Amino acid sequence: MTHASIAPVRRATLLAGIGLATVGALVAGATPAYAADDSVSYLAPEYQVGELTGDGKVDTDDLAILMTAVGKTSADADWETVAAADADGDGVITVLDVAALSKAYLYDDDPFEILETDVVAVQKAMTAGVLTSEQLTAEYLNRIAAYDRVAGIDPATPAEMLEAIVATNPNAMAEAKALDAERATTGPRSILHGIPVLVKDNINTLDMATTAGCACLADNRTSTDAETVERLKAMGAIVIAKANLSEFAQSTASSISKYGTTRNAYGLGRDPGGSSGGTGASVSANLGVFGLGTDTGGSVRVPSSFNALVGIRPTIGLVSREGVIPLDLYRDTVGPMARSVSDAALALDALAGSDPMDAVTAGADGVKPLSYAQALDPKALQGKRIGYISGLVSGNQNAVGFRLVRGAFADLEAAGATVIDVGSFGSVNGYGLSSLPGSSSFTHDMNEYLNAYYRPGYTFADLAQRVTDAATSGGPTLSTWSAATVRGWASTSDATRDAAYPNFSRTQQAMRDRVDQLMTQYDLDAVIYPSTGGTVGSPASNNRISAFSGYPAVSVPMGFADSTLDETSYSGFPMGLEFLAEPYSESKLLGFAYAYEQQTQHRRPTTLFPDLAG
């Protein structure tokens, strides 16, 4: 529908104050670049205040209604039709109420800035017609070309390169152009329409090979996208590149593969964490709006901590793992990594849901909200009881982690929460966090993946033999791991797996019981702990609480190391704070993370990857 009765208004003009003459001009204004029905819904509470038409978005429809209601008072019979937009609560609709409502309209015709942009800012610019998806996609591809495989970026380590991207999508520009045409004719599909994103290279993509970082899978061109990628594309997102990882997702400390050694976005002399380090470094370096990682033991949250990102490990069963090269399907999950809590929540909106190809997600549709953005309330921590699990910081009392945790206590309390020290986590089923037993399912799960997506009947042992043959041929090797190591991974029998499962299962249940006990004993809304033992180089085992319980966790930036305040050799590198609670509590956790983020604004951009235009 085209609305010729009102033109979009520069937010700066509205905020400066508008008069009745201006209102009259607006009512008689020209058609906007995109019609009101072509704007998008963003269900964060602050963007719903004053919404009048019931379509879940503030747009020119709402502004037109309110403008024609200027002068209406609470004594009027039809007051209830506009009362929600009486921003100052004075019982009269004035131009100040119109100005307040305009702030919730996803429209901004100021010059667009790519650095640290987010989904909402992109949609505002696209709705205003000052940015297209084709332009934005080209900008990100240019940034990848300019920064990913180029030396001399970091003066401290001039020989190092970021090496976060394995491949770019050859069809990205065509997809962006098609999505722009779709927006112009039928409107955007969702708030993710035209958004360029990055995907870890163990998640199937139709347009690019899926290698898990091993050249032995360079020819793994799957005929379908993974379910998570399909969901993003269905919402209008564009996968512009595959991100590097620790080969076969085996390390949380680093992200080294046959496609490069990914470095940290805040200093190329340091590791980014793993195994989703390519996603972490590239999103932090502003090479895409947000990205996908996978998390088995901490592989979303460790690189999020080390690159000042928000990372979500969802409840096992909320997000499909179909089409993902596995490590341990009892613990594997896919999660978003973003520069803001809002973007992470919007990504999770697309990812969450039931998938018949992944049986554990059968109940997901019944537990996901209309939008996780509905939880993004800056007051979400008020009156909440947050339990701090102690003993998970690396180093002595002068280490960076202790200072940042003390600061987090103060920040949480300033946001209205009560923080309770619940003591150390202790052991579960006789194991400490660093020595928890695995399920020995890697071989089994890889066999199933290879048979389904690579070649019928092909096994992990066949793949290991390919690695061995290359290693003994005198030519280029196919893996950064030794052939013996890969053969060892591929040799676990089903009998060994079956024997390992009972103890693994008991440990999982003991982990859940311990979390439940803490939540009940202290009447907690969530628990917190540092996402990693320290900043870069200290992944530790904190992240295993979520990984082995299957409970959701959100990592959010907690601050940066500072050599003037800490005993550290990692000054200027970040560290995250992790929130964890009961299964399917992602909405609550995102609300807490958002309130903490808004209270602190701890993320600061890296200076190594400036705007190319600058």
Reduce the DSSP state of residue 528 to 3 states and report it: strand
Nearest partner of 326 among 232, 451, 432, judged by Cα:
451
Can you read off the two tokens belonging to residue 77? 């019979």
**Helix 60-68 crosses helix 20-27 at what angle (to 10 degrees)?**
130
Catalytic, out of 41, 251, 257, 275: 275
Catalytic, out of 39, 255, 282, 299: 299
Residue written as tokens 């940066």?
560
- The residues near 9 (Cβ < 8 Å, ≥ 6 apart) are 18, 26, 63, 102
Nearest partner of 603 among 339, 380, 410, 376, judged by Cα:
339
Question: Is there a catalytic annotation at residue 200?
Answer: yes
Phi, psi (deg, nearest 5) at residue 409: -55, -50
Q: How do 310-313 and 553-560 pair as beta strands?
A: antiparallel
Nearest partner of 486 among 301, 233, 258, judged by Cα:
258
Q: Element (H or E) spanning 560, and its range?
A: strand 553-560
Is there a cis peptide before residue 587, judged by omega within 30 degrees of 0? no
For 340-364, letters b (16+ CB in 10 Å) and e give: bbbbbbbbbbbbbbbbeebebbeeb
Question: Is there a catalytic annotation at residue 368?
Answer: no
Nearest partner of 573 among 612, 529, 610, 608, judged by Cα:
608
Q: How far apart are CA 44 and CA 371, in angstroms?
A: 8
Please tell me the total number of residues recorded for the chain in this structure: 614
Between the two ends of the chain, the Cα-to-Cα distance in Å is 39
Can you read off the two tokens belonging to residue 449? 């993946």
Q: Which residues lie across from 319 on neighbouring strands?
A: 352
Alpha-helical (H) ranges within 473-493 are 483-489
Catalytic, out of 57, 72, 124, 200: 200
Question: Is there a catalytic annotation at residue 571?
Answer: no
> Which residues are identified as catalytic?
200, 275, 299
